[in-house]
Structure 1
Amino acid sequence: MKPSKFLSLLSSGIAIIMLLSVGTSRSVNAQEPTVLEFDAPISGTLGEGDSQLSADGSFFDVYTFEGRAGERVLIRMTSTQLDSYLVLLDPNGNSLVQDDDSAGNLDAQIVYTLPVDGRYTVYANAYSTGQAGSYQIELQAADASTPTVATSTALPRYFCDESGTTPITKARRKDGVVGPLIEWTQDLALPNLSAAERCRRVASNLDTVHGRLGRNFAITAGRLQNLPVVCAGTAPGVCDPDGLILTASSRDNARQLAIRLGTAINALRSAPPDPSQATSTNSAQSRIDDPTPLAVAPQFNFFDILSYSNCLEDVIQLYQDPQRLKRSGRRSDCLSEVFARYPNGISRSQALEIITAADRYATSSRRDTLLYPPRGQRVRVRELFGFTYAIDQPR
């Protein structure tokens, strides 16, 4: 089961792929919707020939139903053959809410109060790219007592870990792997909020945004209520009205926090399935190293830290787990000739060749500003390939 995905767009306009989440993704091919009636379950099948989400290529079927403002509905998708995923869109085609496992196990369930009269759309979606199988979908009337989540044993997707001296906002991947997002040192606390309170609030905001915008929501540095914020949005610098993640002391601070959040989620997304195992047990690490140089000279097009980080993350994944990279997709458009030539992966020495060339490109004397990857990514590069950037070398 692959981890979810984020697509983060920072204010520079450069995309950085993260973890955990379809916002307003459109289909690759059109499909006529099926009318979904109350208390009339429908059996369906996902597979070749169905519509596919442009974000990740996963199959989905389209359903519609007539709803009234204030009406509370329950939509459930169950299957023994695939990992169910539901998306509810309003009459204008905007994503209202999405769900993965709220019906228990791998079944999806949405309980939602409709905001306006009109025809609503439901995507019955498979969580993973290429996943196929049969399913059942049903629409029911719900009331205030209807639980949003069918099982109370589900662990939170985002949470604040207060077990240490410094609270840390953490994310839990779909396969159970947990990683830190932001460590709330006192310099990051706001005057009216303690570090622990801010940690909890950010975890709650991330969970709300994820639930509404789904697998591919974007993170951007922008403004809400005339305050600099890190938020969910659909374009660089444009916040969704309900997309607040955290407030910042300044515009620069918001951008820095967004970069920090993106880098942390990148690291979690790339973590091996079992974090208790040493990196050396990873399939890529056990691969016999091929000393053959690349047949294609690396040509780079990144121009800031974010695009550099995305390009480097693609290279690391091409070395560590090319099959996962195929399933989840690229984070950048750099090195297109290299990725076309080596779709099944590169060796350690070939990855190191690219990393070294990228560093030369990023620190060329012709550049106005020297560029280095984020610190966490530099540490990973050192651990995986033994390469130390000049900025980290003893002076």
Structure 2
Amino acid sequence: MERKDGGAKDRKREKREDEKHVIDLLKLGKDQLLPSEAEGEILHRVLPRCEICKFDASGHAFFLEDGVDLVTIIMGTSFYHRARYLDYASDYLPPSPSELKKIHESLRWIEVATSPVMLSTLEDGKVVRGLSGIPSEGPVLLVGYHMLLGLEMMPIVSSFWAKRNILLRGIAHPMMYRNLRNGESPLIPDISTYDILRIMGAVPVSVTNFYKLLSSNAHVLLYPGGMREALHRKGEEYKLFWPEQSEFVRMAARFGATIIPFGSVGEDDIGQLLVDYDDLMKVPHIKAKIKEVAEAVLQSRTDDDGELDNQDPHLPLILTKLPGRFYNLFGKPIETEVDLLSWSRVLAMILVEEGENGEGNSRKDLRSRGLCLVPIECTEHIANNNGADFWSPAMGNNVSPKH
């Protein structure tokens, strides 16, 4: 299979070769007739524009196996396009009911392990169980922060689709759309790991893609901290790593998009970070491998310098403490108006105000429970001195039932 890719228009770092034909190889792990795995690696190194899809449990008669859907493979590899060049935002087709069922089954273990709870805020500031506070009509921009490895994301996407029939279009790192040219690395997942994200509508981060999603009245899921937040260090739980300048506010205001800030907690309930990036970089051999991988991976931001732009992909060592529970609280919708919003104004609306002494707002320091993106006026009436009591499964009597 081959396609033409127009991604070079969106990412400065990509070369003109991205406009040439792209070949997708299906590498079968149990092919007893042909050396599929070995030949796949050779072709991947030889062909200039070649992407590999791994199917470790499949044999030579791949398309005769039960459950194999070529359409799903095409959509998962971003192979389908309507025009000459691939357009991640416009070429997307929503998954079919059968595809959604498969995705839900494959992600069932996350829901069992984390038992995610969804809370949303109505326009009058009332917090309710469920997602009834989320507008049905777009454009809507949901802005939040990543917990460790971004594990909170898929339960959110799944819940929006299952409970509100809303498809969240995520803004994803470009590494989820390109294989490493130097072959596989144990430090980052295989690209096929991200097929579900592409099927569910995620697009590579770029101004063009962001513009197209908002112009199509989509519900967009954005994590300004990106990989740096998802791969945070020890002691950085719930810490924001947002860029100093606005990357989305002006665009959202141009389309009159509704901004919904949200926060997630529960990372400390399911795992403990044992070995982080700083620890890995102290081992010379691992440090060399990490830098080698970093050079081969496309970076999301190429215009600025700093730790946000130069985060090296790696896999930290985590001690799991399952089962646990995730809690996601979506704040009060913020209506935007053209040319009236600034980055500082939005931060003032969605960040909990902190005192000069750094101890936080005297009414309730929600930052200690990771809800720093939720306006304090939305949660003051339900907050108390014991945040752990409020965030218990019973939820107490402070939260209204789902509307």
Tell me the TM-score normalised to structure 1 length: 0.31
Report the structure, 1 or 2, having the larger helix content. 2
Report the structure, 1 or 2, having the larger strand content. 1
* Bigger RCO of structures 1 and 2 (CA < 8 A, at least 6 apart): 2
